[in-house]
Structure formats: structure tokens, C-alpha cells
Structure 1
Amino acid sequence: MNQRRKFLKNTVLTGGALSVSGLSAFYIKPTSPKLEETILGHGDFRYRVEKGWGDLDPKKHPVKNCHEMVMDKKERLLMLTDHPQNNVIIYNTSGRLLGSWTLSFPGAHGLSIHDEGDAEYLYITDPGLGKVVKCSLEGKILLELEHPAKLGAYDETSAYRPTETAVGPNGDIYVADGYGSQFILHYDAEGQFIRKFGGDSFLQPNKFKQAHGVAIDYRDPNNPTLLCTARIKNSFKRFSLDGEYIEEYYLPGAFVSRPVLDGDNIYSGVCFGMTEGNYNMQLNRGFVTILDKENRVVSNPGGTEPQFENGKLKLMLQEQPVFKHCHDVCLDRDKNLYVCQWNADGVYPYKLHRV
């Protein structure tokens, strides 16, 4: 445990509330975090849960589903919810409210952040509206991508329900149409359409069932690639930045959300689950899964310990009923996790304190 983590663990966290877009209200939280006794996870990736970390006044800052979260350079945590009253809620790492704003999106789903040198920008998707927008950290829309049917990429009958974005090293934008036609759509930084790849298939390895997430993998700095989710196939698929299929990582039992890359590791929320003897997707289950630099699962907070037989990963299941549907994971500088949940009775994000 590094010195900073020791300090944070043994010190009462305090901090002032900041105003965002003219909002200055904040929620007074307990001075000391209340951690669960049970330790989640395995090996070097073990955590204690603080369920009340993100709790706010639901009358002032309601959430339906906590879909995704990112951290900016100021170590502010920006969380996306599909409640149109406040699509974006901003916390500090101790769970204090710093502000909120809304685009009035009723289905806000995907949230990515990209540093363009002059400033950081957010990319937000709403599958129900078929929208992908780029906006400032204060919620000003700066770019909206055109519907692919208007660009000749889809025909008029093709479903388009975008779930996620990623921004490449040259500013190109990749959109995962995870609830629609299962393509990854590639645009340039100005929103001009370049190509699409993927599509809908259970059997073809270069295609998807629920292309829920997309992220840029910079772990090989000389060869950045795309990691894409195939949730119903329990896998991540790797592509070149030009859309050429490279390989797949099969994660049996894990209906993974988007890949979140941090250092050498991949983190993902597992939304839904299975039970022994019933290998269909089941509601009200979930955990977090963590992969190492070799793309092998090393820890499953809330899930069964990863086990391998003849080099192949065995079925992974929920072991502890802490989560319902883990939709996203965010990390802070001390490698604590923040977990967003979908369809979980309107709960705010949980914090997993690394031990």
C-alpha cells in the first residue's frame, strides 16, 4: 500500500463544494466512511465496499440508473445518469457533491472523456434518441454526430442505438452501436464518417452480440488498438484502429460492460450473471472483473475466484450479493474503484477501497 493510500485510509477526508454551471448546492456526508467488513476480490486486487459513498438527496439529485463514470485531471468524478433532471453528477473522491448539469437526455448511457490538449471534453450517447454528442465539462454541446443513415452508412430501416464512444490518438471517434445494428462506426474528429465494421452474428468472430463498449488500448504505446465488448458472447474483441479483427478474450459467465484500461490492467463491470446449471442471462446479478497485462482474469470483486483448467478460464459467477448489475467501473489515483449499477433500485455509485 503506497503512502498516499495509507494517509487516506487513516485520515478524515474533507473538501469544499465547488460550483458547476451556476450550481452550488452540496450534500453533507458523514465525516468517516462506513466500510463493509467483507473483503471482495482476489490476489493483489482486494477491496472493502463503501455503499453510501455516493448517496445524495434523491429529491434534488435523483438517479434512475448510474450508467458510467470518468475522472478528469482535477480528480473530479463525473457520473452519467439517465435521469433528465441531472444527467451528469460531479463528485470528489470522498463522495461530496461538487455540482450537476443536464442535457435533458432521458436515456443517457455512454460517457467518455478525452484530453485534447486545450481542454478535456465529454462524449455522451443516448441510445433511445440515437444521439452522440461532444460537449464541454460544463455541458455545452460542441458537436453532434449525424445519424449513420443520413451518411449512407446504414439504410433507413437499420436500427441505431449507440451505447459508447472512444477517441483515438488522432482524434478519430469510434461509436459502438451496441443496442442497434452491432457495428463500430468510425468518424474523424470533425464527425465525417470513415467506415464501419463488425455487425450482428453469434458465430463470426469479427462480429458482435451487444457491442456495448469500445475503448482505446494504449498498453503497447507503439501499437494502440481498439477493445470492443461483445457482451452476449462474454468476450472482449480486439481490432486495429482501421477495423481489422485481431483476437478475442473469452470470459465465460461474464456479461461484460465496457473495458476500462488503467495501467497494465483492464477493468469491467459485469452486468447480469449465471448460476450453476443455468447458463442463461439472469437479472439481479453482477460483479467486477479485472484482467492483467496478459489479458488473464486475476480478480473478480463480488464474483468467484478466477480459475483455469488446462490454460482455459472456467465459468465465473457472482459469489457475494453486493451488486445487481455492474454497468461501469472508474478508478482514482490510488486505484480505488467506483462502481455504477443499472437497474439497481436507484442506488448511487459504490466505492471499493483497495486494501
Structure 2
Amino acid sequence: MNSNPSRRNFLRTTALTATAMTFKPFYILNAKPKTNGEIIGHGTHTYKVQLGWGDLDSSKFPINNCHEMVQDSKGRLIMVGDEVKNNILVYDRSGKLLDSWGHEYPGGHGLTLWNANGEEFLFICDPNLGKVVKTDIQGKVLLTIEHPSKVGAYEEKMAFKPTETAIGPDGTIYVADGYGSQWILRYTTNGEYIDKFGGPGDEDHQFATAHGVAIDYRNKANPTLLVTSRVHNSFKRFSLDGKYLSTIFLPGAYVCRPVMDGDNLYAGVCWSRLRYLNQTPNSGFVTILDKNDKVISNPGGTKPEYRDGQLQMMVQNYPQFMHCHDVCVDNEKNVYICQWNAKKTYPIKLVRV
């Protein structure tokens, strides 16, 4: 008998949403892709699809997977990928390439921008190398975080495949070992190990693919940490010192990292639960939550629906996207989509309507 009330609620909600989704996935799987200029999204957050926005000459600037993107203080859009001919591509908002660099990150995956009193730094996660590096905005390496066994945090045999970082208000570095051993590790600004929390499992404080991590400053008096638990279709909220607080359950959505912009939380959905409620290839979309952590729009996905306060199953509506790995929101509230395993396509822009 399962005595965990959160687990019981998870199973009950899943059962209810499964009933609501009867037969619908089979219709969706046969749908045709939407085209350039289509309007997608719901309510106050609708967008015009701009395909080809970030297209480049692939013979000069090839990509494999567009993993993540951030915007710096100059409005430049900086994207990381896993093609070592140019791990970093830097765009302006029109889609023009401004710069490219990076040849040493075969698994270039996580990209975090930290503005430290006006000076900007990048944190790059490479799960293939098992390293996190801090660089200046031009890519000069300033700090490297390696396997946690070197500081006594892991046993040597434990996998370390970091996928994301977040930087706390005091400069604490949070590292999500999302493809490795499922811990969130804390380091000082100088890279000295503090502690870790989480680990693999189905308890509230544990993770199943701790893919992303971000600081939520929406409550300015009490910032918290949001951690992706992708297989759980959830974001889990923690205090900045690693104490579990609550879960945002997003049934059907295999979310990537949480991206904060103003009062809203955005995320790319890499897969949704289409056929028989299983993780289904090429079923991604974008999800947007308001300041109360309520889903208000799903560009590329089904309209969010709540019944008796419970969010119902969300899945891809039409196959505009394949696997949405990350989103970046610019100063005009346009959204840029980075995709994994999407036939080497460059980023797509969603123009806010």
C-alpha cells in the first residue's frame, strides 16, 4: 500500500487525464505540420511562427542539436549546441549571425548567463565531458567544475553528466546532474563544493532526469529554486539551501529547464505522452505558466484545461515542433525555440501577437 499522499495524487490525476485523452493521440499523430506564419498558443500568449529565422549556411556554421539559448544585456541571442565546429552561435533578433566560437564541447548542452554587477559570464554544461565551465562572454574559460568525486561528493564510479546550472543571489552555483546521478550540487562562486540534495527516485524531494534548474525571483522577498524532474512531468520547488517545498505537476509534458521572464515561467517540452500515454518521438511543444504557476498557454500543444483545480493532460496539438529543448524570451516577449533531434534545424522564432 502506498502511503505517500503526493504519489497517490499523481496516480489519481494521471488516471483521470488518461480517460480524458481517449483516442485523441491517434488523431494528433496523423496531423499535418503547421506552416510558416501560423498563429499558435492560447489566451494572452499567442505567437506567429517564423520558420527559417535562424537558418545559416550549414557548410560554414553546422549544427547537430540546438540545445539552449540566452539573451545578454546587449540583446544578443547566444545559443549553445554540440557541434564542435561552432559550439556557440550568437544572433541578433533579426536572425543575423553576429559571432561564433567554441570547439571543445562535444556535448554542449546547458547555457546559463550570469550578470554579476554589470559583468556577464556564461556557464556551459557538457555531459559528454562531465564538466561545467565558467567563461567570459567571449568564451575564455575562467573556472571548471569536474567530477564530484574529486571533492568527496560522489564515489568515483558514479556518473556525472551535468545538464544545467543556476546562479543564486549570493553567487552560489547550482549544478543539475540531469543525465548522471540526479543530484543538485552546490558550489561557492569560486567553485568550492558546499553540498548536494535530491538524488534518484520517486519521492517528492528526488528526481527522474533533473534536466534543468533556475532561480525563481518572482517572490522577491523569498527567491526559490526550481528543478526539472522531466520523467515526472514536473518542476519541483526548493529553498535555496535545498529543502523541498512543492511540485508543479504538468501531466503529459516532458519539460526541459524552467525559464523565468517577468511573472511568467516558460519551458520547452521535449516530448508529450501521445500514443498510449507513452513518451512519444516528435511530440514537443512550449508551455507557459503565470505567476501562480497555472498553465495559460501551450504554443504547439493542446489548450490548457483545469477541472476541479487539476490540470488535465497536455500533449502536442499539431506537429509544428519535434523536440523543444529550450526557449529564450527577448525584450519584446518573442520566443525562440531550440530543438534537440530535429533534423539539424536552426532555431525557430515565435513572434508575440
Normalising to structure 1: TM-score of the pair? 0.89
- Counterpart residue identity of residue 289, structure 1: T
- Counterpart residue identity of residue 260, structure 2: L
Q: Is the 8 A contact 2:165 2:176 kept in 1?
A: yes
Q: Is the 8 A contact 2:43 2:297 kept in 1?
A: yes
Q: Is the 8 A contact 2:130 2:146 kept in 1?
A: no
Q: Secondary structure of 2:211's match?
A: coil
Structure 1: distance between partners of 2:169 and 2:109? 23
Per-residue deviation, 1:36: 2.4
Q: Secondary structure of 2:281's match?
A: strand
- Counterpart residue identity of residue 305, structure 1: K
Q: Secondary structure of 2:282's match?
A: strand
- Residue of structure 2 in register with 1:117 after alignment: 117
Structure 2: distance between partners of 1:162 and 1:103? 19
- Counterpart residue identity of residue 196, structure 2: K
Per-residue deviation, 1:147: 1.6
- Counterpart residue identity of residue 237, structure 2: R
Structure 2: distance between partners of 1:188 and 1:224? 18
- Counterpart residue identity of residue 141, structure 2: I
Per-residue deviation, 1:146: 3.0
Give the number of the structure whose residues are more often helix, by fraction: 2
Q: Is the 8 A contact 2:102 2:139 kept in 1?
A: yes
Per-residue deviation, 1:119: 1.1
- Residue of structure 1 in register with 2:273 after alignment: 274
1:78-129 deviations in Å (ceiling 9; x for gaps)? 0001000001000000000001001421100000000012510000000011
- Residue of structure 1 in register with 2:92 after alignment: 92
Structure 2: distance between partners of 1:50 and 1:39? 10
Q: Is the 8 A contact 1:103 1:139 kept in 2?
A: no
The sequence identity of aligned pairs, in percent, is 56
- Residue of structure 2 in register with 1:284 after alignment: 282
Structure 2: distance between partners of 1:61 and 1:104? 15
Q: Secondary structure of 1:232's match?
A: helix
Per-residue deviation, 1:279: 1.2
- Residue of structure 2 in register with 1:129 after alignment: 129
Q: Is the 8 A contact 2:37 2:50 kept in 1?
A: no
Per-residue deviation, 1:333: 0.6
Structure 1: distance between partners of 2:38 and 2:153? 50
- Structure 1 gaps, min length 5: 1-34
- Partner residue of 1:330 out of 325, 328, 331: 328
Structure 2: distance between partners of 1:38 and 1:150? 51
Taking CA–CA contacts closer than 8 Å with sequence separation of 6 or more, which of the two structures ends up with the larger relative contact order?
2
Are residue 147 (structure 1) and residue 147 (structure 2) matched?
yes
- Residue of structure 2 in register with 1:212 after alignment: 211
User: Do the aligned partners of residues 170 and 177 (structure 1) sit closer, same or farther apart at CA in structure 2, a change above 3 Å counting?
Assistant: same
- Residue of structure 2 in register with 1:67 after alignment: 67
Structure 2: distance between partners of 1:103 and 1:178? 23
Structure 1: distance between partners of 2:38 and 2:99? 32
Normalising to structure 2: TM-score of the pair? 0.89
- Residue of structure 2 in register with 1:29 after alignment: none
- Residue of structure 2 in register with 1:108 after alignment: 108
Structure 2: distance between partners of 1:37 and 1:137? 33
- Counterpart residue identity of residue 172, structure 1: T
- Partner residue of 1:309 out of 285, 307, 310: 307
- Partner residue of 2:298 out of 288, 300, 303: 300
Q: Is the 8 A contact 1:271 1:326 kept in 2?
A: yes
- Counterpart residue identity of residue 354, structure 1: R
Superposition map of 1:1-355 within 5 A: 36-202=36-202, 204-275=203-274, 278-355=276-353
- Counterpart residue identity of residue 270, structure 2: C
